[in-house]
Amino acid sequence: MGLPGVADKKLSIFLGKFCPDPAAILAALERTKLCTELDFVPGESICRQGDRVDGCWLVLEGQIEVRADEQVVVYRGPGEIFGEQGLVHVLSGKTGTRTADVKAVGPVKLLRIDASFQERLDDKEKVAWTLTLADVINEKLEQATAMRSGLRSSATQHELLLRRFSEGDALGLVKIAASGKQVSIQNRRAIILFSDIAGFSVWSTSKAPAEVARHLGALAGIQINAVRDGGGHVDKLMGDGAMAYWFVDSGEREKCEPIAALACVRKIASVCKAYFEQHGLPLGLRMGLHVGDVSFGDFGAENRIAVTLLGAAVNTAARYEQAKSPDIGDIRISPTLRELMLSAGESPNTFRGPTKVEVKHGVELDVFSI
């Protein structure tokens, strides 16, 4: 066919498994030109429940998740097709609509076969195509039959548990890893936030463990809730510190996430300050933010899932939080992120600086602060 190598190979493998006459269908696709390669960004919707049936998709690279009733029904990976049931409805003369939501889990490449392809087939080709779709549906029915009614409840409880440890895109990757599948490392761009409660270690040495835990839990809750309300994701809690992030790897996200992240840290600073004053705690809160390219994925081991961000940008964000100087405020922002915030509409008057500050290993940073 005239398709790129990956698409041609995956399509040939798929047809070899399900189609009684692969050569006929490959020739028909070449003749009609009704298949297209499409790329989807992480979290992007591919189709929604109730949409008109206008084709089906073969997964070439990445993972998609199929959701119904706000629960994940199944994942589909390379070499698997989805949306075929709607085409069977169309073949039978019915007006089909989608029965589930489908979205990308990480970057996804698909081969879309338009529904009108079926109308261009001669009788022999139509029989081969119909049998292909029927064989796919039969295999999926067999897979569904193998499940027990108790699995639905078990899956719900499993997802609720996972949501206690991860969220957003990370949750999708954790679920893939938990199913035993390999999680691909993604190249993303993100705003990274590190926070630390200044003076907490010294203060806590003379306090009862229960009191320390009570305040630590309350302060962690303030930060977690603010990040989630601001559309961000909590990566981890580290003693009296936290790490969070906002992905900014699309034009739309670059317009809104920098302002959301700034509003979030302002809220955290304000609420934590009020908490310190209310409880008479001699503490402060430092936050450092930077934006840059990161690797996102499961960096754990065989028996340990650890979905997180890694890269130089993460280390740099941590250094902004750790910077010490009487000339900077509690919210420290890198020049790169400041420029992104200004592009998103933030006023230059919001920021003080830059101030040169020396951090670990003699590295100097230009620090803007609030």
Residue 317 CB coordination number (10 Å):
30
Residue 150 confidence class, pLDDT cut points 50, 70, 90: low
Residue environment code for 183-207, b if the CB has 16+ CB neighbours within 10 A, otherwise e = bbebebbbbbbbbbbeebeebbeee
Cis, peptide link before residue 209, omega less than 30° from 0: no
Query: 185-369 in CATH: which number?
Result: 3.30.70.1230
pLDDT greater at residue 145 or residue 78: 78
Considering only CA atoms, which of 103, 111, 106 is closest in space to residue 48?
A: 103
pLDDT at 241 over 80: yes
Cis, peptide link before residue 354, omega less than 30° from 0: yes
Q: How many CA atoms lie within 13 A of 235 on its CB side?
A: 24
Quickly count helices (H) and strands (E) in the chain: 11, 14
Considering only CA atoms, which of 248, 291, 231 is closest in space to residue 42?
A: 248
- Which pLDDT score, from 0 to 100, does residue 313 have? 95
pLDDT at 324 over 60: yes
pLDDT at 245 over 90: yes
Considering only CA atoms, which of 247, 218, 220 is closest in space to residue 231?
A: 247
Q: Both tokens of residue 213?
A: 């835990």
Residue type, 370: I
Angle, helix 123-145 to helix 84-91, in steps of 10 degrees: 130
Q: Both tokens of residue 138?
A: 């039969």
The arithmetic mean of pLDDT across residues 242-250, rounded, is 92
pLDDT at 166 over 80: no
Percentage of the chain exceeding pLDDT 70: 94
- Which pLDDT score, from 0 to 100, does residue 110 have? 94
Q: Both tokens of residue 341?
A: 């915030």
**Contact predicate 88/37, CB 8 Å:** no
Residue 5 confidence class, pLDDT cut points 50, 70, 90: low
Q: Report the C-alpha dihedral over residues 260, 47, 39, 1, rounded to 10 degrees.
A: 180
Distance CA 276, CA 69 (A): 43
At 274-284, the pLDDT tens digits run 999 999 999 99
The arithmetic mean of pLDDT across residues 198-225, rounded, is 92
Radius of gyration of the chain (CA): 26
**Contact predicate 215/194, CB 8 Å:** no
Considering only CA atoms, which of 114, 48, 53 is closest in space to residue 86?
A: 53
Classify strands 331-333 and 284-298 as parallel, antiparallel or unpaired.
parallel
- Which pLDDT score, from 0 to 100, does residue 307 have? 86
- Which pLDDT score, from 0 to 100, does residue 64 have? 94
Considering only CA atoms, which of 265, 241, 242 is closest in space to residue 350?
A: 265
Residue whose structure tokens are 């939501």: 101
Q: Both tokens of residue 181?
A: 């599948």
Give the architecture-level CATH label for domain 5-146.
Sandwich (2.60)
The arithmetic mean of pLDDT across residues 326-335, rounded, is 92
At 30-80, the pLDDT tens digits run 999 999 999 999 989 999 998 888 889 999 999 999 998 878 888 999 999
Phi, psi of 133 (to 5 degrees): -60, -40
Q: For the chain, what's the residue count?
A: 370
Q: What is the largest CA-CA distance in the chain?
A: 84
The arithmetic mean of pLDDT across residues 25-32, rounded, is 92
Angle, helix 251-278 to helix 335-343, in steps of 10 degrees: 110
Classify strands 233-238 and 45-47 as parallel, antiparallel or unpaired.
unpaired
- Which pLDDT score, from 0 to 100, does residue 148 have? 56
* Element spanning 128, H or E: helix 123-145
Domain ranges of the chain: 5-146, 185-369
Considering only CA atoms, which of 298, 268, 273 is closest in space to residue 283?
A: 273
- Which pLDDT score, from 0 to 100, does residue 161 have? 66
